[in-house]
Amino acid sequence: MAANVLCCLLQNWRYYKMKHGTVFLFLILLLTVAPYLLAHSTLQEEQDFRFAIELENKELFDIAALQFERFAELYPSSPQAPVALLRAGENYEKADSLIRASNVYLAVLLKFSQSSIVDRAQFNQARLLANNNEHLKAGIAYDRLKILAPNSPLVPEAQLAAARSYLSAGESRKSLDAALYLLENFATHPTRMDAYKAIADVHEVNGDYGNAILYLDRILGDRVEDDLAADVYVKKSQLLKKLGRFSESDSVLFKLVSGKYASPIVVRAANELAVSMLDNRQYQEAEKILTRVIEKVGQADKIDLWQSLGDTYYLQGNYALAKQTYMKATNDPGKTGLFVYRLGMVNKKLGEVSVALTHFEQVLADTNLTSDVRFYAAIEYANLLSADGRAVQGIRYLQNYIASTPALYRRNELFFAIANLQENILNDYAGARQNYNAIIAGSPKSAIVDDAQFSIARSYEVESELQNALREYDRYLQYYPGGDFYATAQKKAYLLKLMTPSDSRNLDEALNQILVQGLTAESRAHAFNSLAQYHLHSFRNYEKALDLLQRAEKEDVDERLNKEQLQYDKAFCLFVLHEKSMQENRLNSAQNYAQNLQQLAEQMKVNYPNSKLTAQVEFWVVQTNLPNLESGARRIGFLNSHIETISDDSLKQHLQIQLVDEMMAARTDTSAGFQRIGQILADILNHHKTEKIEADALYKQALLLHQTSRPDSATVLLNRLLTRHDSPRRVDGLYLLATIHEENRRYIDAQRLYFEIAEKYFYSPWASRAEAKLISLMLRQGQYKEAQQRVRAKEQTGIPRELKHFYPAQVDDETLWLWAEVIRFTQSPQKAVEMYQKYLDLGSDTRHRADALFAVGELADKMNKQEMALGYFEECAASFPDDSLGQQALVKAADLSFDRGLYDQARVYYEKIRVALTGDLQKRAFQRLIICDFRLGKINRAEGLVKTFKKEYDDRNAEARFLYEEAMHYIDAKNLSQAEKTLKTLAGRYDDVPEGARGDLGLARLYVVQTKTEDALKRLTEIPEKYEDPEIVATAYLNLADFYYENRALENTIHAGRKVLELQESGPLRAQALDLLIDAYDDLGLRDQAIAYQREYIETFPYASNILDRRIRIGTFLYYLKEYDRAIVELKDVKPLVSADDEARVQFWIAESYAGAGFTEQAIIEYLKVRYQCKQHPKLPFGVTAVYKAGENYQKLGNLLKAKEMYEIVIRERGATDDFGRAANRKLEEIKAELEKDS
């Protein structure tokens, strides 16, 4: 303050009206006092500043901030004023007074813009904006630092922060520019690795995962030494998954966790890898990884790893070790909810019921958990109460839970759980049936109504109320054909009919007959036999009947009884007793009965070899022995041996159906195996004895025909099957026929059949799949609203994914899958890919994983992301080699590799297809395999394969293609004479097949190389007259168009190009033809037509790599058409999307359009943006051209001085000898002359 007073006095002394002597005395006094005043002022200033620092050191940030701010106000000219104001802002930040901090930083920038700390103020201001989620403003603020303080050491960090902020704001291009600026200007700065990571993040956001990985690889070294490198490993793993390279993704994580570096990022990676391994049932590998990482990380980081390791032990069935491992994580107070659920489940497995109950009580009280998780916790809790001897309490708990459960499907599950407790724990069968009936009555369209009906029948059977049980099983068979338990219910109904005693009237009649026979019997044998028949057919007491039959046989010394019938009756008793013992799980008894039955059958085959009764007994022998044979091969051999000996055709057909089932289950997928199965089924269909056998044979034969690529024949058989309305096989046939219709693009027919399954067979295992297919077809047909309604109305069943380790067979993933399908048809392909990837993240055990992998492959291919498409097709083929989708994916992967010129890789795939598939696909793969060898230069191997191909197939068209590929090999090898000879052979010998035209095409190409233009033109013009194949003719016209364009015959170019469009609705030939037409119309100046074809190209190929370049070109065409307003709109729309390298180009044409429209002042502004706001084009001088154009427009406005300034910039930059420099120099001379004239 003293210094300020002194300065003021010195500056204004002349205004004091004093006498000279007074002035002299005053000056002496002033000079005497001044040093003291200055020293005192400096001391006070230092004390004030030091006081502020002391407050800051004591962490009294709010008071320190006020003191620093006051200091800057009191001593504005102090050298420490800028620093004080900066520190005021920093202390306000520490005190969470962020608005005041921001205001102070702005004050620094305004008051001390030339200070050395302006960079820190700008950086801090940008950081505040970023922390407040104002990412775009933050990015701009960070970016501005390099302008305010170009030499600041904070510039690299600011550019990195700008890149991150821009990306968070969705400005990927600006983010990329900021990161590239860092790399270009600070090549040795430590943040360059972070800049590579930022660029990788930009590429990831743009969906360019391959380029993202390339930038990440620049960071990675041989060792992981910091968190950045560890994070890059994790990021690379995630990107590889997005590319469909799942195994490689796991390998990257494995490399990270196997190293010596340890951090929370490595813990996260280990958990991710463990989840993947557990999904693939690699339990021991997961255990090793987790154990290794636990050993090297700190105590706090072990918690999540212990949980994952506990899951590993749980899934291996080692519940004691799982619990021991889980307990290590219990010290973490954050471990609630799902972790406690784990403890409950593991204690349940260990039989520690009371402990498990406590855990589930905690889960049920945790309102942060989803209602689905707490729902299953409630069922577990009730079951545990039951296990603790409190079943009634458990049932009451679930009944109360029903009252608070609005969802009908959840209420049904609760009814089912209650009924199970009543039936299995309390033996309250009547009560259980009430709850089963509640499901049927309350939700007749529920997916579990068939389960409820079966359970009702079973409960009667357990109570030995056999008549009621039989009635309910019959009800099940009547109402739920195709249900989960149909075969079981059928068998049980059959056995119950055998075991249920007749009614009393029948018993009286039987007893009267026996009494009469007994009174008149000529022997005791007849009496025993009659009594046996009574027990056999009326009381169904087979043990007693068997005993009586054995006694009758013993008493029949004079052989008056029918011995064959007697032995048959004994065999029947043994068979029924075997089946009953199996049901009652009395395996030893069942084995004894089976052995006795076999011995009896051997006797009958000797005594009555051709008898139908003997055949029936032999059939029973097969049925009792077949389940005991462990291997499929043994069962197949056993059935074959008995089929050859059994005499009854109907029984033989039953065994043949079983043989077909075994052969299909054993994957007899060789040509001979398929042929054998087909012969068996054809024989059955020609001589079928029952409708059931016919239905089974129709379905299995149709399935076989479908597998061997004969869909039309399969359709005929399936239509026959669908006329059997009561057959349980009908729903199987419906689904297969719908699948065939869908594969053949008969979507309306397929949709109708899927709808019938979903509505009529809603309880069937096919229903869920049919519903998903139905919704997909609705979307494909544009029925978006209806599809979404069905998704919303779908009954959500199954376990939440969070609990998949404990209920792996019941996990629900259907809803997410269906929404992914909805998004595929209603939103962008990229959005659909993201949703499918979320579905795939659920794990490798999902129901639609093959469909999802294939869908992402198709979408990626559509978006022109071939590397990604290839990854997903490869994963689908590798994961599902026997599935039809896996086989289609293998073909797609092969073709994609082939189309990209990766012939080595394609060759491997085609070889696999050739071995694995049959029919046309096998033949096509063989052809492509040979073509790959030709293109790889393996001519000897290719020629050897051609010979083999000719032996296996009589296909002149394929032979012609091989000759063409051989000729192309010779052209590439510069052996033109041999090439010409081969092509002439092809054109002359194979002119009767489509591929023969390639001879003329090849000769035309060869003549162009040899500059024999007339010969080339002659060959090309003859092809459309000689051949009809659309692809060949279109290729010829395309070559003609290209030939004409090169020779500037533009009208002919247009004619030939249009012919290609007529022949090719899509594909690369159409794309090339459109390009030629665009160029030809552009050269002719007919740019309206050029625009029309350019727009058609964009619509037809929306994911072509050069789409933005095409949109820029449309803008320039509009400019040349003098439609300046439309040009400006088009170019401004595309500018935010282009790369930094193209920004100057787009901006230049915007400026040109304004100039052309007569908006001269605006044009100048736009020209100067090219120079000062855009990154300069790497090849074309748009910046200097724009400055020159700005000079012209200034000159037009009469602002000669500004025009002069622009031209001088051009001369300075380009030099006086450059074309631009000379032109600018001429303009400069004009301006000088004009200025001299005016002066």
Q: How far apart are CA 902 and CA 896, in angstroms?
A: 9
Name the token pair of 667: 């994957």
Element (H, E) at 407: none
| Chain segment 19-36, per-residue pLDDT in tens | 444 544 554 544 554 554
> For 197-213, how does the pLDDT look when each residue is reduced to its tens digit (9 = 90+)?
999 999 898 888 888 89
Cβ-Cβ contacts under 8 Å for 956 (sequence gap 6 or more): 990, 992, 993
pLDDT of residue 591: 93
Rg of the Cα trace of the chain?
Answer: 44
User: Which pLDDT score is estimated for 16?
Assistant: 42
Q: Any idea which residue has 């002391």 for tokens?
A: 54
Task: State yes or no: pLDDT of 852 exceeds 80.
Answer: yes
Residue 20 resides in a domain = yes
Q: Which one-letter DSSP state was computed for residue 807?
A: S
For residues 1227 and 1203, give the distance between their C-alpha atoms in angstroms, rounded to a whole number: 9
CATH number where 1189 lies: 1.25.40.10
Q: What is the dihedral of CA 196, 201, 207, 211, to 10 degrees?
A: 10
Q: State the Cα angle at 825 between 824 and 830, rounded to 5°.
A: 40
Examine residue 284 and state whether it is found in any structural domain, yes or no: no
Q: Is the pLDDT of residue 17 over 60?
A: no
How high is the pLDDT of residue 345?
Answer: 94
Indicate whether 1206 belongs to any domain. yes
Angle subtended at Cα 175 by Cα 169 and Cα 180, rounded to the nearest 5 degrees: 170
Residue where one domain finishes, among candidates 477, 498, 519: 498
Q: Which amino acid is present at 648?
A: D
In a domain, 925, yes or no: no
Of the three residues 452, 482, 498, the one that is the final residue of a domain is 498
Compute how many other C-beta atoms are within 10 angstroms of the C-beta atom of residue 585. 8
- The length of the chain in residues reads 1239
Burial 1043-1062 (b: 16+ CB within 10 A, else e): bbbeeebbebbbebbebbbe
Residue 1026 lies inside a defined structural domain of this protein: no
Q: How confident is the model at residue 8 (pLDDT cuts 50, 70, 90)?
A: very low
Residue 475 in any domain: the answer is yes
DSSP type of residue 811: B
DSSP line for 551-602: HHHHH-TT--S-HHHHHHHHHHHHHHHHHHHHHTT-HHHHHHHHHHHHHHHH
Residues 6+ apart with CB under 8 A from 141: 122, 125, 126, 129
User: How many CB atoms are closer than 10 A to CB 487?
Assistant: 10
Residue 336 has pLDDT above 50, yes or no: yes
Burial of residue 904 (number of CB atoms within 10 Å: 0-12, 13-18, 19+): exposed
Residue 479 has pLDDT above 50, yes or no: yes
Q: Comparing 46-50, 114-118, 222-226, 868-872, which segment has the lowest mean pLDDT?
A: 222-226
Domain span at 473: 460-498
Q: What is the pLDDT of residue 477?
A: 93
Q: How confident is the model at residue 2 (pLDDT cuts 50, 70, 90)?
A: very low
Of 445, 478, 498, the domain-final residue: 498
Burial (CB count <10 Å: 0-12, 13-18, 19+), residue 1094: buried
Question: What's the pLDDT tens digit per position in 815-851?
Answer: 888 889 999 888 888 899 989 998 898 888 788 899 9
The count of domains in the chain is 3
Judge contact between 969 and 995, C-beta under 8 A: no
pLDDT digits (tens, 9 = 90+) for 613-666: 999 999 999 999 998 888 888 999 999 998 988 888 889 999 999 999 888 887
User: pLDDT digits over 489-545, tens only?
Assistant: 998 998 888 877 765 445 555 555 555 555 444 578 888 888 898 888 888 889 999
Contact 758, 764 (CB under 8 A): no
Return the DSSP state at 1181: -
1160 belongs to a structural domain: yes
Is position 30 within any domain?
yes
- pLDDT at residue 3 above 60? no
Q: What is the pLDDT of residue 511?
A: 54
